[in-house]
């Protein structure tokens, strides 16, 4: 038996590696992903004032600071038992959707895009953002970058700082939106929707028109029949900012719908000795090892899971795109991991349309943006849909609002078990023989890159240096050889 | 030094030694502005850097690096390639070299980019304090970083683009 170690996973936040165990015939008998960093964030924040949490948590991850900021801000609302004014809820949702649009665009074009836009079997040297630019053209590349920058600048007008927002406070936001700010955001909102619809067209033209790509998306190697989770509004439509958590079964039937305060009644965590990441599962079903199906408590979050968990989208163009996706892929739920890329584009359209709805809402131009908290703090729980899936912040404090305990359930954790399934299945499908070429390895990486996992969040630690190494072992653990990539 | 110049200090305030760039940037802000630099002290890397690089003729990026071959606190002038090999903690592994490469690919106003690295012990673990070795030498480090940037400003740089 030989062991192949792919370390690290390129183009992902955080340090992870894949171990592929080969049998004597050279076929994969088991594959799994390791996340070697220690969790430390919960301990780091003990003894700090809870009101600092939106700023501290936004620094965990360089990719989705807004998601942590917003989940943390909502946890503060709950901690101090103060509901924000409707206007500030809308301001928060506006800023949040701008962030979602920008972040999804980053993934579509820069992180996940190379797999499909350039091609899954293209040489590694071409499977990067420059390869994407070559494929879509220079002008499109410039459009991607300029639109993304304008979205960030627009958001900075609302949240203070585009990278690490400073606007979320218990009971509201720290400043109203001015008339000038809103006019700026309106201009960007229109371009944002054009950009999202354009991206949908790019996806159709470059990906869906290719039979081999569609075959890959729908192939059994990238398919798992799991439960799906997402935050939904009262009509079971996707909402990134607020709502209840809905879970649907592998057959698409509602399994649970609950307020985030009840999350511990529905979600438990399984521990494995070979990784620091924990594997959440549905408590009422239980942990039944790394298998899919209705009898396995493994569930998934992220764009595809959200769309699977929803009955509809809340905006017209997103609804059309949502219907087309499910119609093309055989109806709901879609179990093909790689369909996450398509679902992400559908969500870009939703985010852009929701931004347009919000910027035309007169409520935004009000000075009443905060209700001052008066209650003594004890426990606060907040939830949002991060780009990568459901994100929960849970704080417990003393009577002075000093953190005694903090727990964060991040999207990559929620997805960890399904990612493990994906890696195992893809490796078994694509790794054959002792000659593991770059294309094979990329097919395995694609299995988890579709989730856009973020291990800095999942382990709450920043990654170290990231050399890429493939190690070959025999069944007795002897190193047979080493193959390096990018070292 | 004619044209527009930027000094970009990068770090993360909750990851121990990784905050050294932020500290040095705050110390040097005024002095560098006197040299006609726009000073940016930012807690972000990756493609966000595009927003800070665009429009400048020259940009000096100051960040922590982690190399066991060099003493803690040593200030290093690095090429983009060398920087890439000593640190890649950027979001989604898209760091400074990748951002510059992207700008080059897009043909958009690519500045001459210089990297000044500050060698640190541990930029990867959660802490809001820098290590003792850096604490003791932060004044000297700041002075050395200033000298490196000032010397760049005095030198004809066009032929020295590290990229």
CB–CB of B43 and A110 under 8 A? no
Query: Quick one: pLDDT at residue A6?
Result: 44
Q: Is the Cβ of B47 closer than 8 Å to some Cβ of chain A? A: yes
Q: How far apart are CA B106 and CA B108, in angstroms?
A: 5
**Cβ–Cβ below 8 Å for B47 and A138:** no
pLDDT at A356 over 80: yes
Q: Which residues of A441-466 are buried (b: 16+ CB within 10 A; e: fewer)?
A: bbbbbbbbbbbbbbbbbbbbbbbbbb
Please indicate, yes or no, whether residues A330 and A340 belong to a single structural domain of this protein.
Answer: no
Give me the phi and psi of A417, to 5 degrees please. Answer: -65, -40
| Assigned token pair, A183 | 């006019």
pLDDT above 90 coverage of chain A, percent: 55
Helix (H, G, I), strand (E, B) or coil at B100: helix
Burial class (CB in 10 A: 0-12, 13-18, 19+), A379: middle
CA distance B94 to B90: 6
**Sheet order of strands, A379-386 included:** A379-386, A389-397, A403-409
Of the residues A63, A113, A460, the best mutation for testing chain B's interface (the one with the most B CB atoms within 10 Å of its CB) is A63
Specify whether A310 is located in the same domain as A195.
Answer: no
A395 within domain boundaries? no
Q: List the 77-116 stretch of B: residues with Cβ below 8 A of A.
A: 86-94, 98, 101-102, 105-108
**Cis ω for the linkage preceding B34 (within 30 of 0):** no
Question: Which residues of chain B make contact with A59, given a CB cutoff of 8 A?
Answer: 12-15, 43
Query: Which of A438-442, A456-460, B154-158 bottoms out in mean pLDDT, i.e. has the lowest?
Result: A456-460
pLDDT of residue A289: 93
- Measured between alpha carbons, how far is A307 from A291 in angstroms, rounded to an integer? 22
- The tokens describing A423, both together, are 């890696």
- Closest-CA residue to A331 (of A250, A269, A403): A250
Lowest mean pLDDT: which of A293-307, A453-467, B117-131? A453-467
Tokens at residue B17, please? 């030694």
User: What whole-number distance in Å separates Cα of residue A74 and Cα of residue A76?
Assistant: 5
Give the least confident one: A346-355, A414-423, A443-452: A443-452
A459: distance to nearest CA of chain B, Å?
11
A18 pLDDT above the threshold of 80: no
Looking at residues B108-134, what average pLDDT do you find?
A: 84
pTM: 0.87
Closest Cα in chain A, distance from residue B74 (Å): 19
**Angle, vertex CA A122, rays to CA A117 and CA A124, nearest 5:** 105
From the list B62, B87, B90, the residue with the least C-alpha distance to B76 is: B62
Domains of chain B, by residue range, sit at 5-160
Give the Cα separation of A140 and B127 in Å (integer): 41
**Contact assignment for B51 to A149 by CB distance below 8 Å:** yes
Query: Is residue A295 included in any domain, yes or no?
Result: yes
Backbone angle region of B20, left / alpha / beta, with phi > 0 → left and psi within -120 to 50 → alpha: alpha
Structure tokens belonging to residue A174: 């720290």
Cβ–Cβ contact A110 with B under 8 A: yes
Question: Can you tell me the distance from the alpha carbon of A176 to that of A37, in angstroms, rounded to the nearest whole number?
Answer: 40
Tokens coding A461: 């630690």
CA distance readout (Å), A289 to A297, A395, A418: 9, 30, 11
Q: Could A463 and B124 be called an inter-chain contact, meaning their C-beta atoms sit closer than 8 Å?
A: yes
| CA closest to A106 among chain B residues | B47
A13 to B102: CB separation less than 8 angstroms, yes or no: no
Tell me the nearest-neighbour CA distance from B25 into chain A, angstroms. 18
Does B88 contact A466 at a Cβ distance shorter than 8 Å? Answer: yes
Same domain assignment for residues A212 and A93: yes
Identify the residue among A45, A135, A465 best suited for mutation to test binding to B, counting B beta carbons within 10 A and taking the highest. Answer: A465
H helix runs in A53-178, sequence order: 53-57, 65-79, 86-106, 113, 129-136, 138-159
* B41-72: burial string, b at 16+ Cβ within 10 Å, e else: bbbbbbbbbbbbbbebbbbbbbbbbbbeeeeb
What pLDDT, on a 0 to 100 scale, did the predictor assign at position A449? Answer: 76
Instruction: Inform me whether the pLDDT recorded for A306 exceeds 60.
Output: yes
Chosen from A131, A462, A485 to mutate, greatest number of chain B CBs within 10 A: A462
Residue A229 has pLDDT above 90, yes or no: yes
Is there a contact between A464 and B44 if contact means CB atoms under 8 Å apart?
no
Residue A111 sits in the same domain as residue A190: yes
* Residue A366 and residue A331 share a domain: no
At residue A143, the pLDDT reads 86
Task: Check CB contact under 8 Å for A465 and B88.
Answer: yes
> Which residues of chain B make contact with A466, given a CB cutoff of 8 A?
88, 93
Nearest-CA neighbor of A358 among A113, A139, A186, A133? A186
Whether A98 and A154 share a structural domain: yes
Residues across chain B: 163
Same domain for A212 and A104: yes
- Alpha helices (H) along B5-131: 20-34, 49-53, 80-86, 96-106
pLDDT of A178 > 90? The answer is yes
B70 in contact with A at a CB cutoff of 8 Å?
A: no
Q: Which of A62, A138, A141 sits opposite B91 (nearest CB)?
A: A62
**Domain-located, residue A71:** no
For chain A, how many structural domains are there in total?
A: 3
Residue at A437 is within a domain: yes
Question: Residue B83: closest CA among chain A residues belongs to which residue?
Answer: A465
| CATH code assigned at A158 | 1.10.645.10
Q: Does A411 touch chain B (CB under 8 A)?
A: no
pLDDT band, residue B69 (cuts 50/70/90): confident
Sign for the CA dihedral angle at B107, B110, B116, B120 comes to negative
A414 is a domain residue: no
Q: CB of A381 within 8 A of CB of A260?
A: yes
Nearest residue in B to A11, CA atom? B92
* pLDDT given for residue A169 in this prediction: 96
A479 in contact with chain B, both atoms CB, cutoff 8 A: no
**Closest CA–CA distance from residue A213 to any residue of chain B (Å):** 24
Asked whether residue A196 falls in the same domain as residue A345, the answer is yes
Q: Do A152 and B51 touch (CB under 8 A)?
A: yes
* Residue B141 Cα distances to A124, A420, B9, B25, B162, angstroms: 39, 45, 13, 11, 22
Q: pLDDT at residue A13 above 50?
A: no
Distance from the Cα of residue A470 to its chain's centroid:
27
**Cα three-residue angle A344-A349-A354, rounded to 5 degrees:** 120
* Bridging pattern class, strands A267-270 and A403-409: unpaired
Confidence band for A370, pLDDT divided at 50, 70 and 90: very high
**What integer is the mean pLDDT of B116-140?**
88
Q: Which residue of B has its CA nearest to A56?
A: B14
Residue B35 has pLDDT above 50, yes or no: yes
Nearest to A110 among B45, B47, B90 (CB): B47
Inside any domain, residue A46: no
> What residues in A contact B106, CB-CB < 8 Å?
133, 138, 141-142, 145
pLDDT at residue A421 tops 70: yes
pLDDT at position B156 is 47
Query: Taking Cα atoms as reference points, which of A440, A454, A218 lies closest to residue A337?
Result: A218
Q: Do residues A288 and A318 touch, judged by C-beta distance below 8 A? A: no
Residue B12 CA to residue B45 CA, distance in Å, equals 10
Using DSSP's 3-state secondary structure scheme, residue A143 falls into helix
What integer pLDDT is reported at residue B115 of this predicted model? 87
Q: Output the CA torsion sign for A229, A232, A236, A237.
A: negative
Which of these ranges, A62-71, A117-126, A296-305, B63-72, has the smallest mean pLDDT?
Answer: A117-126
Task: Provide the domain limits for residue A273.
Answer: 224-335
CATH domain B5-160 topology: Rossmann fold (3.40.50)
């Amino acid at each position: 038996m030989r062991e192949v170690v792919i370390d690290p996973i390129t183009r992902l936040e955080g340090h992870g590696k894949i171990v592929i165990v080969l049998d004597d015939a050279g076929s994969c008998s088991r594959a799994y992903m390791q996340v070697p960093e220690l969790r430390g964030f919960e301990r780091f924040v003990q003894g700090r004032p809870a009101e600092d949490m939106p700023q501290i948590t936004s620094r965990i991850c360089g990719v989705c600071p807004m998601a942590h900021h917003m989940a943390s801000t909502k946890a503060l609302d709950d901690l101090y038992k103060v509901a924000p004014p409707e206007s500030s809820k809308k301001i928060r949702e506006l800023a949040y959707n701008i962030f979602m649009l920008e972040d999804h665009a980053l993934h579509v074009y820069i992180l996940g895009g190379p797999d499909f836009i350039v091609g899954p079997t293209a040489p590694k040297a071409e499977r990067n953002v420059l390869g994407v630019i070559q494929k879509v053209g220079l002008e499109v590349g410039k459009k991607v970058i300029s639109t993304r920058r304008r979205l960030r600048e627009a958001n900075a007008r609302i949240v203070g700082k585009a990278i690490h927002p400073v606007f979320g406070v218990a009971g509201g936001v720290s400043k109203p939106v001015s008339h000038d700010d809103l006019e700026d955001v309106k201009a960007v909102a229109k371009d944002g929707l054009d950009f999202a619809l354009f991206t949908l067209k790019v996806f159709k033209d470059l990906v869906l028109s290719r039979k081999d790509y569609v075959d890959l998306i729908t192939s059994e190697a990238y398919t798992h029949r799991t439960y799906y989770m997402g935050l939904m509004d009262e009509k079971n439509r996707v909402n990134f900012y607020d709502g209840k958590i809905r879970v649907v079964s592998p057959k698409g039937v509602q399994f649970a719908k609950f307020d985030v305060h009840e999350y511990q009644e529905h979600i438990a965590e399984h521990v494995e000795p070979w990784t620091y990441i924990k594997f959440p599962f549905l408590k009422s079903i239980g942990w039944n090892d790394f298998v899919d199906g209705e009898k396995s408590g493994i569930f998934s979050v992220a764009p595809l899971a959200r769309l699977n968990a929803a009955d509809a989208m809340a905006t017209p163009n997103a609804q059309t795109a949502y219907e087309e996706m499910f119609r093309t892929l055989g109806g709901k739920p879609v179990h093909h991991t790689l369909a996450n890329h398509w679902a992400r584009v559908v969500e870009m359209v939703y985010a852009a349309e929701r931004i347009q709805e919000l910027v035309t809402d007169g409520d935004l131009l009000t000075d009443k943006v905060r209700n001052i908290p008066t209650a003594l703090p004890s426990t606060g729980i907040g939830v949002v849909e991060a780009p990568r899936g459901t994100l929960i912040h849970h704080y417990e404090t003393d009577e002075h609002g000093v953190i005694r305990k903090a727990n964060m359930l991040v999207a990559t954790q929620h997805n960890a078990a399904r990612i493990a399934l994906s890696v195992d299945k893809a490796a078994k499908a694509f790794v054959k023989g002792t000659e593991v070429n770059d294309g094979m390895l990329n097919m395995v990486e694609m299995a988890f890159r579709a989730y856009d996992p973020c291990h800095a969040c999942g382990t709450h630690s920043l990654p170290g240096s990231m050399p890429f190494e493939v190690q070959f072992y025999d069944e007795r653990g002897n190193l047979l050889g080493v193959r390096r990539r990018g070292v | 030094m004619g044209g527009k110049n930027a000094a970009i200090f990068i770090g993360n305030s909750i990851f121990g030694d990784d905050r050294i760039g932020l500290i040095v940037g705050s110390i040097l802000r005024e002095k560098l502005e006197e040299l006609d630099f726009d000073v940016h002290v930012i807690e972000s890397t990756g493609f966000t850097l595009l927003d800070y690089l665009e429009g400048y003729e020259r940009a000096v990026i100051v960040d922590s690096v982690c190399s066991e071959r060099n003493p803690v606190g040593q200030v290093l002038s690095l090429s983009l390639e060398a920087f890439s090999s000593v640190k890649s903690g950027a979001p989604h592994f898209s760091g400074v070299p990748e951002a510059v490469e992207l700008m080059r690919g897009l043909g958009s106003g690519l500045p001459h980019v210089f990297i000044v690295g500050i060698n640190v012990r541990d930029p990867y673990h959660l802490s809001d304090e820098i290590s003792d070795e850096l604490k003791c030498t932060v004044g000297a480090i700041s002075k050395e970083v200033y000298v490196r940037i000032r010397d760049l400003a005095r030198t004809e740089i066009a032929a020295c683009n590290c990229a």
